[in-house]
């Protein structure tokens, strides 16, 4: 087994991992590993933009108030304050690095960002690069990271974390190209492995979003929080997939005037919320889910045909082109859409500086739970939170690097690398069905209890497979099953409906018993 040593190990190449690597590279040697190509992550598919209070009629306090309101009593006030205040400065820093956000000059000749508005925001505050903001950010950051001589290993899969005496010393990985194990020893490790949408039947997440960081950190003893709060994006393109993921139709499309309708052309959102099509995502997703169940239909329509065609093409070039390739001209016909798993508000519990409950292990981005989103994420706050917490983790890391301790002697029995097998594939299919049917947009006590028992069974089966040998698919399946179990268990604990968690057996919010985080540890739920 090859052994590498570095001051800082970064696992993941989304905005959180790249920003942290870019900043901390001035203070030590940095090795960044990424599961796929460096540009493949949820950041890359972020169409809408990054929220920041930089408009003339906006302020961090208004942004704070909108975020707190969306968080349904669980957003941490101190965290939201930090993110909303620090966000504008960091967005300008991204722009100055070369990210091509849309801008214009006002009547006084002053440069301004062209701002969009999305559901739940009371102001226009979405800084964007048309509908490929995530890609625009990643492209710049990857170049900046390479200029800092950060070593990047692509196609490198996280197998396990090196943890001794509740301190992290790096990771065991598989370098997929050469099918060999690499032990990486590091003084600090940042987990920024993204989300877990692939555990659901319909998801906007890429195939790599299998909950690896969350599941592995949990197995090593890290505290995990608020896994029940899964955001289902209300509008993904129905009936078409791109590389295993549903194509996302951005929230910003409704922000620009897109209207949701049933197949027979009737509007319905006014029945569910005063803001209609601009209601928060959870309400829109549940409204669509309800309409589909009531009408026994498979999708609803998102209509833009009443809007200026040139404006649609200019504001949403990627959405327009992708739909056109599937035979849908969105300027002339409505888009068939269905909800899909999109974002998890929970994850590895971190403090205000990105530190987990394991010493020298930090986390940022969708892998983590900072308390920013509470029970519901406000649109476009995720890229902002990733940026701010990557920055804060970098600031904390400068201090942590001053107290370097000797690497421990880790001995790991090298596992056999075995071929893919059909049994693993079957377990994943079963997992996706359980999660979609029983731990989806609308939940109930009976389904959740059944799901937990079925997921425990899947866990036992995947562990038996791993005893014989490992491969990427079986390790991903294990991480997905553990992540699914964490979601179902957390959802079952929360006997109320709040934010993204809706249980028809407990339809009301219960502030007396449940205005608190759901925190899980390995000893609590592993049988």
**Whether 508 contacts 497, CB under 8 Å:** yes
Element (H, E) at 239: strand 230-242
Measure the CA dihedral 126/87/276/376, to 10°. 140
Q: Which of 281, 392, 494, 498 is catalytic?
A: 281
Q: Measure CA 327 to chain center.
A: 30
**Whether 420 contacts 471, CB under 8 Å:** yes
How far apart are alpha carbons 364 and 355 in whole angstroms?
Answer: 9
Specify the residue for token string 């000797």. 406
Measure the CA dihedral 181/183/189/190, to 10°. -10
**Whether 5 contacts 407, CB under 8 Å:** yes
How far apart are alpha carbons 72 and 493 in whole angstroms?
Answer: 17
**Whether 141 contacts 18, CB under 8 Å:** yes
End-to-end Cα separation, the chain, in angstroms? 32
**Whether 204 contacts 413, CB under 8 Å:** no
Burial of 263 (0-12, 13-18, 19+ CB in 10 A): middle
How far apart are alpha carbons 55 and 115 in whole angstroms?
Answer: 8
How far apart are alpha carbons 411 and 407 in whole angstroms?
Answer: 12
Compute how many other C-beta atoms are within 10 angstroms of the C-beta atom of residue 229: 30
How far apart are alpha carbons 152 and 182 in whole angstroms?
Answer: 14
* Residue 244 backbone dihedrals phi, psi, to 5 degrees: 80, 5
Give the closest residue to 210 by CA, choosing from 515, 474, 19, 416: 474
> For the chain, how many residues are written?
527
Give every CB contact of residue 22 below 8 A, 6+ residues apart in sequence: 141, 144, 145, 148, 150
Q: What angle do CA 396, 400, 404 make, to 5 degrees?
A: 165
Compute how many other C-beta atoms are within 10 angstroms of the C-beta atom of residue 336: 21
Q: How far lies 402's CA from each of 390, 398, 475, in Å?
A: 19, 7, 35
Specify the residue for token string 């880790």. 410
Give the closest residue to 171 by CA, choosing from 13, 20, 9: 9
Strand partners, 2: 182
Q: Answer yes or no: 130 catalytic.
A: no
**Whether 8 contacts 362, CB under 8 Å:** no
Positions annotated as catalytic residues are 281
């Amino acid at each position: 087994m090859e052994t590498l040593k570095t001051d800082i190990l970064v696992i993941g190449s989304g905005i959180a991992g790249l920003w942290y690597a870019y900043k901390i590279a001035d203070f030590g040697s940095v090795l960044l590993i990424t599961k796929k190509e460096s540009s493949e992550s949820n950041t890359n598919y972020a169409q809408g933009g990054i929220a920041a209070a930089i408009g003339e009629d906006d302020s961090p306090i208004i942004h704070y108030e909108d975020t707190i309101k969306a968080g349904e009593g669980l957003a941490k006030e101190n965290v939201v304050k930090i993110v909303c205040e620090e966000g504008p400065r960091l967005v300008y820093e991204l722009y100055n690095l070369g990210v091509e956000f849309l801008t214009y000059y006002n009547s006084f000749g002053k440069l301004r960002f062209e701002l969009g508005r999305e559901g739940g925001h009371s102001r226009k505050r979405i800084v964007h690069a048309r509908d490929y903001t995530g890609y625009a950010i990643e492209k710049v950051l990857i170049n900046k990271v390479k200029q800092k001589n950060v070593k990047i290993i692509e196609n490198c899969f996280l197998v396990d974390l090196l943890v001794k005496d509740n301190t992290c010393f790096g990771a065991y990985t598989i370098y997929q190209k050469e099918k060999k194990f690499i032990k990486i020893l590091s003084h600090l490790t940042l987990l920024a492995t993204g989300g877990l949408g692939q555990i659901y039947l319909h998801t906007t997440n890429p195939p790599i979003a299998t909950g690896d960081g969350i599941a592995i950190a949990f197995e090593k003893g890290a505290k995990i929080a608020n896994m029940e709060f899964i955001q289902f994006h209300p509008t993904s393109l129905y009936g078409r997939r791109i590389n295993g993921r549903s194509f996302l139709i951005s929230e910003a499309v409704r922000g620009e005037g897109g209207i949701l309708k049933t197949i027979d052309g009737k509007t319905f959102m006014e029945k569910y919320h005063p803001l209609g099509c601009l209601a928060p995502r959870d309400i829109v997703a549940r409204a669509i889910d309800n309409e589909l169940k009531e009408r026994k239909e498979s999708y609803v329509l998102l209509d833009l045909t009443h809007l200026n065609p040139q404006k649609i093409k200019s504001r949403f070039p990627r959405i327009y082109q992708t739909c056109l390739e599937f035979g849908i001209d969105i300027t002339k016909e409505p888009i068939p859409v269905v909800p899909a798993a999109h974002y998890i508000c929970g994850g590895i519990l971190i403090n205000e500086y990105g530190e987990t409950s394991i010493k020298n292990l930090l986390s940022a981005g969708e892998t983590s739970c900072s308390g920013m989103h509470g029970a519901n994420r406000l649109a476009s706050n995720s890229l902002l939170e990733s940026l701010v917490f990557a920055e804060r983790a970098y600031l904390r890391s400068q201090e942590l690097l001053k107290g370097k301790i000797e690497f421990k002697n880790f001995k790991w029995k090298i596992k056999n690398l075995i071929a893919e097998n059909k049994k693993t594939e079957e377990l994943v299919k079963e997992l996706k069905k359980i999660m979609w049917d029983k731990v989806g947009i609308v939940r109930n006590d009976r389904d959740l209890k059944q799901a937990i028992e079925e997921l425990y069974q899947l866990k036992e089966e995947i562990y038996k497979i791993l005893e014989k040998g490992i491969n990427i698919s079986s390790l991903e399946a294990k991480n997905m099953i553990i992540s699914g179990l964490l979601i179902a268990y957390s959802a079952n604990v929360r006997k109320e409906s709040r934010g993204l968690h809706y249980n028809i057996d407990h339809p009301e919010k219960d502030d007396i018993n449940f205005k608190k985080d759901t925190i899980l540890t390995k000893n609590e739920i592993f049988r």
